[in-house]
Amino acid sequence: MERARLILKPKEDLRLRSGHPWVYDNEISRVEGEAAGGAEVEVLDARRQLVGLAFYNPASKIRARLYSRALRAADEAFFAERLGKALEWRRRFFDPERQSLRLAFGEADGLPGLVLDSFVGEAGAGGPRGRWLSAQFLSLGVDARKAAIMKALAGLFPADGVVERSDAPVRAFEGLKPAVGAIAGTVPPSVWIEENGLSFAVDLVGGQKTGWFLDQRSNRAAAARFARGRRVLDAFCNQGGFGLACAAAGAAEVLGVDSSAEALAAAAANAERNGLAGKLRLEEGNAFDFLRALERERERFGLVVLDPPAFAKNRASVESARRGYKDLNLRALKLLEPGGILVTCSCSHWFGPELFGPMLEEAAHDAGRRLRTIEERAQDLDHPIVSGYPESRYLKCFIVEAD
């Protein structure tokens, strides 16, 4: 079948040629031929030179997502090749047979809209060992090619079960409804994975996002290096990732706060499983209010972790996000004892390092604290950062010491 062609307006190919994968609706001058939703289309510049092949979606502002710079079909062989490359990259830094990791990170792995997390461990405490995958099909292109993707995956990286977690809000922008449930094999209610020598229960079906925030793995270990003997506050602790890493590394005590009762119940079970229950105190509530209350009570901590959800979900909310981040960081700095460590994160790509750094400076100024930067970190290596696609550089994790 002949592919339809998207002809771009003059100069709209430049960003795409430097690596960006998205063609927005207002960048297209015309469509030649019949293009159905999800179909493969040729993207041509204003001089009719090929830019690449893309998945078409007439219902989305991101009208087309480039999946290849050369002419080729997005079939099982294509997905096998891209997944193979993704796996090869991860093998350089991880052991995918034994470690849980993000196997495919969408556009950053040349797989627009496809997110795959692999969880390796026991099916429930003491249960049989295995590997289960959590899959998010976040674009119409990959949603329509689920069968080919699953076949490619089964050949390359077989798992005991795959659960679809296509319940991310971005699906709506693609005109797709949420979809959750096992799509291959069976998936146990919880998988006990290992991370940095600790054991964590992951709820693949009901947990937030894909069940566990794998992107913070190395940052949790980095934070824990400063925990020995200190009193730690883990704000937005979710299932205790940072706090338990700190407790295991010798923190005097850890206080975790989160607004989700389910996440806190999981954190408590994780503490129990690792023999750290005596060190972890958990509070349910709004972290903003909680930090304010701690300040009123003149509580002090030697290490504070801030890992809030993304405050900036689009360009329009960047300014309100900045106020939120600043307020939070200001409060955290006020709670730090002299020489205390702040581990502060933001997972919104809209609020990049160029905004995050100055926000922290302002918070330090207002708190009357002088900061020394120890590290400016990003997400772990199973979430690649690629040139030409700034959206892939989304997680900031700055570690600073306050005088």
Whose tokens are 């330090």? That residue is 364
- Binding segment for ligand SAH (CB under 6 A), chosen from 139-147, 158-166, 304-312, 391-399, is 304-312
Q: Which is nearer to ligand SAH, 42 or 307 (CB)?
A: 307
Distance, in Å, from the CA atom of 65 to the CA atom of 72, rounded to the nearest integer, reads 14
Among 20, 259, 277, 313, binds ligand SAH (CB under 6 A): 259
- Of 13 and 117, the one with the shorter C-beta distance to ligand SAH is 117
51 forms part of the interface with ligand SAH (CB under 6 A): no
Q: Please report how close the Cβ of residue 136 comes to ligand SAH at its closest, in angstroms.
A: 16
- Residues 81, 70: contact at Cβ < 8 Å? no
d(CA 226, CA 80): 42
Instruction: Single out the residue of 100, 210, 218, 238 in contact with ligand SAH (rule: CB under 6 A).
Output: 238
Name the minimum Å distance from CB 125 to ligand SAH: 20
**Contact status: 287 vs ligand SAH (CB under 6 A):** yes
Q: Find the binding residues for ligand SAH in span 308-347 (CB under 6 A).
A: 308-309
Q: Minimum distance between the CB of residue 74 and ligand SAH, rounded to whole angstroms?
A: 33
280-to-241, 243, 264, 344 alpha-carbon distances in Å: 12, 8, 11, 20
Nearer to ligand SAH, 142 or 330 (CB): 330
351 interacts with ligand SAH by CB under 6 A: no
**Read out DSSP for 276-302?**
-GGGEEEEES-HHHHHHHHHHTT--EE
Stretch that binds ligand SAH, among 114-122, 166-174, 232-240, 270-278 (CB under 6 A): 232-240
Radius of gyration of the chain (CA): 22
Nearer to ligand SAH, 199 or 208 (CB): 208
Select 287 or 364, whichever has its Cβ closest to ligand SAH: 287
Token pair 């607004």 is found at 259
**Strands 301-306 vs 231-235: parallel, antiparallel or unpaired:** parallel
Going by C-beta distance under 8 Å and a sequence separation of 6 or more, which residues neighbour residue 368? none
Question: What tokens does 38 get?
Answer: 């999800």
Nearer to ligand SAH, 277 or 310 (CB): 310
One of 237, 345, 347, 397 is an active-site residue; which one?
347
Count of positions on this chain that bind ligand SAH (CB under 6 A): 19
142 scored as a contact of ligand SAH (CB under 6 A):
no
Distance CA 53, CA 7 (A): 12
Integer Cα distance of 377 and 354 in angstroms: 13
Whole-Å CA distances, 255 to 94, 115, 183, 327? 31, 32, 38, 20
Distance CA 199, CA 57 (A): 41
* Residue 213 in the binding site for ligand SAH (CB under 6 A): yes
Type of residue numbered 374: I
Tell me: does residue 359 bind ligand SAH (CB under 6 A): no
Torsion of the alpha carbons at 57, 63, 65 and 66, rounded to the nearest 10: 110
Three-class HEC string of 112-124: CCEEEEEEEEEEC
Would you give the binding string for ligand SAH spanning residues 261-280, x where CB under 6 A is met? --x-----------------
Q: Which of 21, 52, 110, 241 binds ligand SAH (CB under 6 A)?
A: 241
Alpha helices in 18-100 (DSSP H): 76-91
Instruction: Report, in Å, the least distance between residue 237 CB and ligand SAH.
Output: 6
Q: Can you tell me the distance from the alpha carbon of 234 to that of 221, in angstroms, rounded to the nearest whole number?
A: 14
345 is catalytic: no
Among the listed ranges 30-38, 85-93, 284-292, 371-379, the one in contact with ligand SAH (CB under 6 A) is 284-292
Say whether residue 258 binds ligand SAH (CB under 6 A): yes
- Which residue's Cβ lies closest to ligand SAH? 241
Q: Which residues are catalytic, by number?
A: 347
Residues near ligand SAH, by CB under 6 A:
208, 213, 216, 236-238, 241-242, 257-260, 263, 286-288, 307-309
